[in-house]
Amino acid sequence: MATSPPLLCLTVTTLLVIFNQCIAGVNTASTIPPKIGKGYRLISIEESPDGGLVGHLQVKQKNSIYGPDIPLLQLYVKHETEDRLRVHITDAEKQRWEVPYNLLPREQPPPLKQSIGRLRKNPVAESEYSSSELIFSYKSDPFGFAVKRKSSGETLFDSSSDGSDPYGDLVFKDQYLEISTKLPKEASLYGLGENTQPHGIKLYPNDPYTLYTTDVSAINLNTDLYGSHPVYMDLRNVGGQASAHAVLLLNSNGMDVVYRGDSLTYKVIGGVFDFYFFAGPSPLAVVDQYTALIGRPAPMPYWALGFHQCRWGYHNLSVVEDVVENYKKAKIPLDVIWNDDDHMDFHKDFTLNPISYPREKLLAFLDKIHSQGMKYIVLIDPGISVNSTYGVYQRGIANDVFIKYEGKPYLAQVWPGAVNFPDYLNPKTVDWWVDEIKRFHELVPVNGLWIDMNEASNFCSGLCTIPKGKQCPTGTGPGWICCLDCKNITTSRWDDPPYKINASGLQVPIGFKTIATSAVHYNGVLEYDAHSLYGFSETIATHIALQGLEGKRPFILTRSTFVGSGHYAAHWTGDNKATWDDLKYSISTMLNFGIFGVPMVGSDICGFYPAPTEELCNRWIELGAFYPFSRDHANFYSPRQELYQWESVAESARNALGMRYKLLPYLYTLNYEAHMSGAPIARPLFFSFPNLAEFYGLSTQFLLGSSVMVSPVLEEGKSEVKVLFPPGTWYSLFDMTQAIVSKESHYLTLDAPLHVINVHLYQNTILPMQQGGLISKEARTTPFSLIVTFPAGANEGEAKGNLYLDDDELPEMKLGNGYSSYVDFYSSVSDGTVKMWSDVEESKFALENGWTIERVTVLGLEGFGGKFALEVDGIPVVDTSKVEISATEQKFPQELEDGGDKKKSMMVDITGLELPVGKKFKMSWKLRSSG
């Protein structure tokens, strides 16, 4: 849903505030401020009972820039695992705000002022503390610490500074914390979101990186957006050998991160320094270690990997029914139909508009689509309408669930007008929210929930009251115009902190168009501290509610995210624009969220507003069909853009979504791998080719899993695409007789007429596919085929792949419960023989569902001979008369045929198989050289 005007609108007052700050010399993220103070000295250090280190730091020279220094700090260092190091720095005498341990479970640091044995009053100037992978070392005066990789001695993080550095030593004040690290210039950094990065997936020196959850349209570049993810991955390449590590600063307060190319500085307006270092050394290992801490990605139901259709502006139920019917007529796959807030009664959560969406007719519609396997999802916003006749509000007031300001529920305005915001840090609020979702599900049996506006978004700023004698909202004009009577709150240091982060890219006050930062949550927690956790806490409460309904696997789509959100929900990238630039930006944002541990992510296909051109919508569905989360979504004020609105777009959709639905078993297996190890579904190419530096900034192509490469057209008027191919053999998934062979990375220009997207499968892979269909429930019942890829012209080689199957209604995604099966596939070419076999874990579920493999296609063989043999569960299959084997010579682009040493390569197709997926099989045949 659009939540603000197409571009960020600022009041004249706000602009004057910014102007006056500039005149007064208040620094912004883009200027270099003077160094602040002389840092701290380490005055004691001792081993803690849990095997870590606890020390104390004393400020060297006090100053009042951004407030007084905290005089004494507690340092806690621990190797929590072999590849994860924690460095925690806080006030030694007073408890400070931290991300709540019940929201993000993790080890607790030692309590303050605990007896830690005899303190070394004069700690050695430098000392080291190591695990098997990482070494922590420190200097005591001024205090600085470094983290090194044990295997190579390479410094990963170094907080010490000298006079020539553009940053100073450690600063720790109540509302301003600063720490920096040196970086080698060749380091490639990724992360620090959420923002729309115009330069691609690599962080770009001197771009602003501000982290503070904000309802700012995603069309705004280099601006703090809906989520806060203070983590970066650092990829380095020394002599052609890559190593990756990651650094998380677990802190929910607003911050600017200044990246200069050879250094990085955090400027944080509260909380503590709670650093986690992840050793890698591969990008996949980094994400594995990161999600082991923050929570593994949520398992998605199978249908969630199908195609979704939504629009803000489906005015009544008959429009929704027509959309579903038109998708069927156009033979375009569709699994899920969505409602924005159109189904609501005057925009109120958990209600139905009795005229536009009468309950009896809606229930009949849902019965119909549910019987076909389709699903229905609706939107809810956190703002609860202040309305004495509204049961949700009445029960909220009775249970005292709302965020307070001076003892009263804080008043804001969103779509229904005046609202209060639930305080999800309060256990009573969670109980109330769970109950409201249960009540709503009894009213409408939705299959998932879409939680929007949860940054939190507010159409007003400051302290507001409901105006007397006038209607608010008026019911005419844009719904986002503030109509409450409001006054600015600038009296407290929470609303007007001494350091101004670069909020909204314009250094607006941090309470601008959100909850006032001096408002109070449960147990006296300030919105100032908890602001960026709001959407995360709502996501957790919603997950608890959905999981408790019918014991089914929840599906939640959330706009605002924080560290750990992927453990509960999927994400879409917010209000994008129907432009070619936004089409391109969507890839970088998607890839970043995979690194953040939120693999189920996608952008509004065809753009949220304004109207896309027909050509753009063609290209966008070709790309969007391969987003992990694939949904077309449009603005209330835009013309209709369902994929059947243009015949040319419908054709592109049938092609691209047709392939997606064939790939559903692969995508679902990637979903399982993500849940088990954090592995992103969509990945940058450097995840599979980390030693090749030419891929470190590549933001126009991506991988699904380790082996499927998607190379979309991203420019207007183009009928070809320039693709960077890593070394090896790549086979076109749409025409497997076509192959690209590359000894070294090189660009190749491929044909890409309007309805074509280039998707390639890498060598040494076994890819499970099914026959597709118009809905995932049907596609899931079709026979399997296996695509086996060897390097072109292979007479030696190995390939492998896997397949995960389960009852996707179950909350847990795991083996061993009797409702799941896992199959490993292997193939080899050696000594003139091709072999293929499977290994099955938990065969029962696959056998009960009757899945079979009917086809095996092997790509890249040097030739084909005879003597085909097959056995199932160790028993030879004597009668193979139904099995047909054919061979086709593969083709290569002309410009590579002239290399002179290209081998002949065959595609061998084996059909007529009836192999039960749940049984182990072996097959073999002779390879006959055609030379």
Q: What is the DSSP string of 643-707?
A: TTSSHHHHHHHHHHHHHHHHSHHHHHHHHHHHHHH---SEE-GGGT-TT-GGGTT--S-EEETTT
**CA 199, 213, 30, 264 torsion-angle sign:** negative
**Measured distance CA(433)–CA(426) in Å, rounded:** 11
SS3 55: strand
- For residue 861 the two structure tokens come to 């063989």
- The label of the residue with tokens 């630039």 reads 581
Q: What's the 3-state SS for 441-457?
A: HHHCCCCEEEECCCCCC
**118: which DSSP letter?**
S
Residue tagged active-site, from 575, 615, 642, 673: 575
DSSP 3-state of 435 = helix
Prior bond of 456 cis (ω within 30°): yes
Q: Are 904 and 863 in contact (CB under 8 A)?
A: yes
Q: How wide is the angle at C-alpha 497 spanned by C-alphas 491 and 499, nearest 5°?
A: 150
Which of 215, 234, 340, 455 is catalytic? The answer is 455
Q: Are strands 208-211 and 255-259 parallel, antiparallel or unpaired?
A: antiparallel
Backbone angles phi, psi at 18, to 5 degrees: -60, -45
Q: Do residues 215 and 261 make contact, with C-beta atoms less than 8 angstroms apart?
A: no
H-helix or E-strand containing 440?
helix 427-443
Q: How far apart are CA 508 and CA 493, in angstroms?
A: 15
| Residue 408: partners with Cβ closer than 8 Å, 6 or more residues away | none
Give exposure, 104-130, as e/b (b: 16+ Cβ within 10 Å).
beeeebbeeeeebeeeeeebeeeeebe
- Residue among 595, 615, 592, 616 at smallest CA distance from 604: 616
Tokens 């970088």, residue located: 588
Strand ranges (E), 784-832:
784-794, 797-806, 820-830
Is-catalytic flag, 455?
A: yes
Q: Which of 620, 579, 578, 581 is nearest to 602 (CA)?
A: 620
Catalytic residue among 174, 452, 632, 642: 452
Nearest by Cα to 902 from 795, 793, 796: 793
Are 762 and 706 in contact, with CB atoms under 8 Å apart?
Answer: yes
Is 582 noted as a catalytic residue in this protein?
Answer: no
- Give the N- to C-terminal CA distance of the chain in Å, as an integer: 62
Q: How many residues does the chain have?
A: 931
Q: Which residues are catalytic?
A: 452, 455, 575
